[in-house]
């Protein structure tokens, strides 16, 4: 041990692993105390729990009076200090942090433990920007006794609000939680539900899926805001550059004039400089103006201005290779019901390729008539999943046959909301054919949950 970092019921020390020559943090507690007993029990139960947002436990030592936990070295700064320095994080950055912290907390909940209420000073960012819970289980006591998963869910909502706005939510005159107006509209219902006393999220997994469903949209908003800011700064710079050049030249003229006023060269030299400074303004603009693409050109995955949200008259589960040819038809009604925490889902399989039992499952999406389709948007709760898309103009009687032709597109490694643009696609019926179930769920197995399907387009012109 080298230097004490923190005092208290659980002391923290800097140390060095002499075998592997790596810095470590050593946490020591007295096993004769109630806190010491809880920390020992939690650490032993969670020693094999691995998640990037939880401290990696290297070893533990038990003596007759003390219990020590050796972990990876703690970062020198916490998130509260970063927030104080920066003022706030973008909504996209904040949600990314909250999702990763939430997944770490969900792992604790799955193991039967809870943090008690995570706050900014309980979290640090590693050098690779991975958020790390440094205070609380598995290497310390819960921050609130009794610690419940519901405490962690509400604290994540407050943390997200704090990172985006710089302050936690306030209480209005009616005693209700007031979400700051700068919070993006897609994020507001997620935070309101997290902070609700009457209808909170049922569990941390449901809230994480809801956060994941808006990540793509928040990233797009951040991208557009960055382009808009760049365009503004460039226009300001373009306007200011000629003025600065003229002022600099004027100062130069005055200086030269003063130095050469007594010589015969002064009048002609000053006149020549005047001619250079007063050159045609249009040439300056051509040189200094930086032409940037418009926001419309740079915005990807948005429907054309004339597109409208099309009415979906029916969605049918499609499982042609299954024993009963059904894939949770009772859950179809959950698609587009406004609740991103649930939706239609595939069965749970033991591998991302359906356990080798079938090539895929899908959803048949029926429109009222043939349309020119510009954009398809799919909101799903899965990580790194994939699907193929087919389109036909078929009669209802042939929908369940495997006669869809070739796929229009094939997408993989998908997360959150997926938007796909088309320039020459017509059809009245689509097949979203899931070919990859993505990463394993925290509770085991593989499945895809789809909570939203939106299609934009126009009637086929005659």
Map out the domains of the chain as residue ranges.
Answer: 3-72, 79-218, 221-298, 308-459
Pick the range with the lowest mean pLDDT from 21-25, 220-224, 271-275, 410-414.
Answer: 271-275
Show the beta-strand stretches assigned E in 31-150.
57-62, 66-72, 123-125, 131-133
Give the pLDDT of residue 6.
83
H-helix segments, 305-394 = none
pLDDT tier at 26, thresholds 50, 70, 90: very high
Highest mean pLDDT among 137-141, 263-267, 384-388: 384-388
CATH of domain 308-459: 2.60.120.260
Q: Which of 22-31, 77-86, 149-158, 304-313 has the lowest mean pLDDT?
A: 304-313
Q: What is the pLDDT of residue 223?
A: 65
* Token pair recorded at residue 452: 């939203």
Q: What confidence score (pLDDT) does residue 67 get?
A: 93
pLDDT tens-digit readout, 329-343: 989 998 988 776 678
* pLDDT band per the 50, 70, 90 thresholds, residue 299: very low
Q: What is the pLDDT of residues 315-329, one digit of tens each?
A: 999 998 888 888 999
Stretch 409-437: mean pLDDT: 91
Phi, psi for residue 409 in degrees, rounded to 5: -155, 160
Round the average pLDDT of the chain to a whole number and report it.
Answer: 81
Choice among 39-43, 71-75, 132-136, 303-307 with the minimum mean pLDDT: 303-307
What homologous superfamily does CATH list for 79-218?
Answer: Transferase(Phosphotransferase) domain 1 (1.10.510.10)
Fold of 3-72: Phosphorylase Kinase; domain 1 (3.30.200)
CB 327 within 8 A of CB 361: yes
Spell out the residues 6+ positions from residue 440 whose beta carbon is closer than 8 angstroms to its own: 352, 446
pLDDT tens-place string over residues 365-383: 999 889 999 999 998 888 8
pTM of the full predicted structure? Answer: 0.53
């Amino acid at each position: 041990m080298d230097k004490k970092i923190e005092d208290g019921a659980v002391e923290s020390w800097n140390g060095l692993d002499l075998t592997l020559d790596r810095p470590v943090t050593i946490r020591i507690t007295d096993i004769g105390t109630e806190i010491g007993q809880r920390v020992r029990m939690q650490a032993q139960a969670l020693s094999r729990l691995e998640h990037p947002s939880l401290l990696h436990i290297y070893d533990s030592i038990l003596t007759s009076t003390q219990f020590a936990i050796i972990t990876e070295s703690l970062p020198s700064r916490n998130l509260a200090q970063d927030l104080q320095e920066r003022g706030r994080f973008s909504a996209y950055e904040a949600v990314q942090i909250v999702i990763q912290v939430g997944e770490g907390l969900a792992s604790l909940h799955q193991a039967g433990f809870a943090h008690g209420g995570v706050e900014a000073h309980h979290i640090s960012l590693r050098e690779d920007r991975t958020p790390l819970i440094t205070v609380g289980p598995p290497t310390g006591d819960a921050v609130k006794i009794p610690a419940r998963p519901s405490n962690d869910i509400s604290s994540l909502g407050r943390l997200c609000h704090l990172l985006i706005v710089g302050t936690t939510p306030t209480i209005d005159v009616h005693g209700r939680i007031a979400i700051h107006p700068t919070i993006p509209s897609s994020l507001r219902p997620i935070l309101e539900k997290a902070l609700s006393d009457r209808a909170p999220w049922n569990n941390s997994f449901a809230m994480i899926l809801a956060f994941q469903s808006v990540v793509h949209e928040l990233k797009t908003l951040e991208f557009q805001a960055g382009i808009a800011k760049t365009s503004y700064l460039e226009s300001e710079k373009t306007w200011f550059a000629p003025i600065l050049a003229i002022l600099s030249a004027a100062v130069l003229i005055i200086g030269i004039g003063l130095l050469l006023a007594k010589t015969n060269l002064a009048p002609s030299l000053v006149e020549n400089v005047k001619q250079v400074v007063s050159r045609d303004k249009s040439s300056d603009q051509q040189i200094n103006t930086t032409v940037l693409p418009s926001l419309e050109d740079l915005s990807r995955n948005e429907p054309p201005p004339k597109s409208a949200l099309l009415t979906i008259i029916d969605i049918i589960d499609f499982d042609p290779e299954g024993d009963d040819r059904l894939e949770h038809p009772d859950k179809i009604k959950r698609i587009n019901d406004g609740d991103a925490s649930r939706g239609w889902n595939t069965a749970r399989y033991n591998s991302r390729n359906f356990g080798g039992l079938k090539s895929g499952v899908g959803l048949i999406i029926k429109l009222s008539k043939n349309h020119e389709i510009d954009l398809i948007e799919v909101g799903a709760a899965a990580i790194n999943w994939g699907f193929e898309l087919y389109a036909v103009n078929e009669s209802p009687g042939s929908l369940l046959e495997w006669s869809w032709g070739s796929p229009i597109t094939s997408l993989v490694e998908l997360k959150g909301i997926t938007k796909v643009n088309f320039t020459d696609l017509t059809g009245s019926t689509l097949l979203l054919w899931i070919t990859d179930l993505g990463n394993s769920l925290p509770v085991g197995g593989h499945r895809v949950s789809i909570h939203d399907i939106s299609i934009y387009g126009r009637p086929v012109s005659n």
